[in-house]
Amino acid sequence: MVRFPNPVRLLILGVGLALARAGLVDPERVRRTTDLAWPRIVTGLARMSKNAVDVAMVGVAIGPVAIAGIGFASPYWGIAFSLGGGIAAGTIALVSQRFGAEAYDELGVAVRASAVVVLAISLPVTAAFWLFPAELISVMTDDARAVELGAAYLRVVALGVPFAGLNLVGSRIYIGADDAWTPMLVRGGGAVSNIAFSGVLIFGLDLGVVGAALGTVLANVLVTAAFAGGLVFGRLPGVGGLPVRVSPFGTYLDRETIVDVVRIGLPVVGRNGVWTVAKFPMLAIVGLFGPTVVAAYVIARRIWGLMNTPGWGFGLASSSLVGQELGGGDERAAEVYARDIVVFSVATYVVAALLVGAFADPIVRLFVGDAGETTVPVAVALVYAACVAAVAQGVKSGTVGPLDASGDTRWPFYSQVVGMFGVAIPVAYLGATTSLGLVGLYLSFVAETTVPAVINYYRFSTGKWKAISREFRPGTPADD
């Protein structure tokens, strides 16, 4: 793994070593976790910054109604990540265990099977978004201008859905092989190119929300091409040799591997889809507060996306490191790694929450011009709620990693369903329809992370995930 004096890496490593000095975690595990986590965190920051910049650019160019339009389209675009991220969970579980066991032929089969599954489930989604964008946006709002802008964005961004899914699989292949550096360069570079494309298309060519959508599609195509080239040739310009090389001419339709990918990935698709599906009633509920609150909510979610990037790094680092130990048959080492990463994750989220909370007002103001001044106080309050929710998110993200690595992906799905539909959405609805008011939205934010954190940690603490992992280890029949 290439070491690089990146400030994110230094911050993450500093938090981990402070925990190590306090005797809470092992310093060597801190270093190895940091090496895998920080590139993924940087990738997440780049991608979430791209999303935030898109919203800020259309907000400046068109106004809060454009922010609302993209906000109403975002649940549909999120479907790409629900599908791709779920299949990618199956990819990282199979790849990390095969990489740890040095079963490289089986690793290639897992990669090709994952690509087939992603395309099979994402192409119909693309067709639906392209053919019925206005009808889909109208599900959440009857504001004619918001529907018009949201539909224009959704029709174009639909073309990027299959590429977004393939990019998630490509990223997990390398992380499962102990290489988070390559996905950071490829996907981080894609996010930077997205910002550049969007800036030119929105302001230079005056394409508005369509420009933002085109920028997203073009960037995803570039990232897919880079991952495909790296896998086929085993190297990338400027990066050098890569740890994984996969022939494009091998078996794609290996039934047993496809079953394993779907079996592991389907609950993760469901888990990811919980928030995606929940966005529909949630945005409809937020819409009851009026357009000012909708814009504030969309801004706060973009800032929350930035705050949540440590979970991307720790969750995937845990999946890879725990999966490798499980693949080598050392269940005790796998559990020790997992527990250290949970502590590490929580501490990092606390630091992130403190930093964002201290600068919440100026951060929010970056998204709106003078016309959006009334949006600022509501958005700032929602950001404060997100800072409180961040502590539980550290537990949630840290415990998802070992469960995903073992193939025990159902419980995180259940926890997400209970958290969103059992608590977060009902509380938000009470806020919109009773004197609870905006406090309901603040409490909803906190419930969204706290309930899954409790349930995930309980499942992790039982240790049953270690036994489940034996069903998916190299050379072990899936029905053992």
How far are the Cα atoms of 77, 147, 313, 403 from residue 475, in angstroms, in the given order?
Answer: 37, 52, 29, 20
pLDDT for res 18 = 92
List, for the chain, all residue ranges whose pLDDT scores fall below the cut of 50. Answer: 1-4, 477-480
pLDDT for res 102 = 61
- The answer to whether residues 273 and 359 touch, using CB atoms and an 8 Å cutoff, is no
pLDDT for res 168 = 81
**pLDDT tens readout for residues 410-461:** 888 888 889 988 999 999 999 989 989 999 999 998 999 999 999 999 998 8
pLDDT for res 442 = 92
pLDDT for res 47 = 67
3-state secondary structure of 235: strand
Give the angle subtended at the CA of 56 by the CAs of 52 and 59, to the nearest 5°: 140
pLDDT for res 1 = 40
Give kind and range of the element (H or E) at residue 236: strand 235-236
- CB-based contacts of 138-144 (< 8 A; 24+ apart in sequence): 139/280, 139/284, 140/72, 140/75, 140/280, 140/283, 140/284, 140/287, 141/68, 141/72, 141/283, 141/284, 141/287, 143/65, 143/68, 143/291
pLDDT for res 455 = 93
Which residue in 422, 441, 418 sits closest to 430, CA to CA? 441
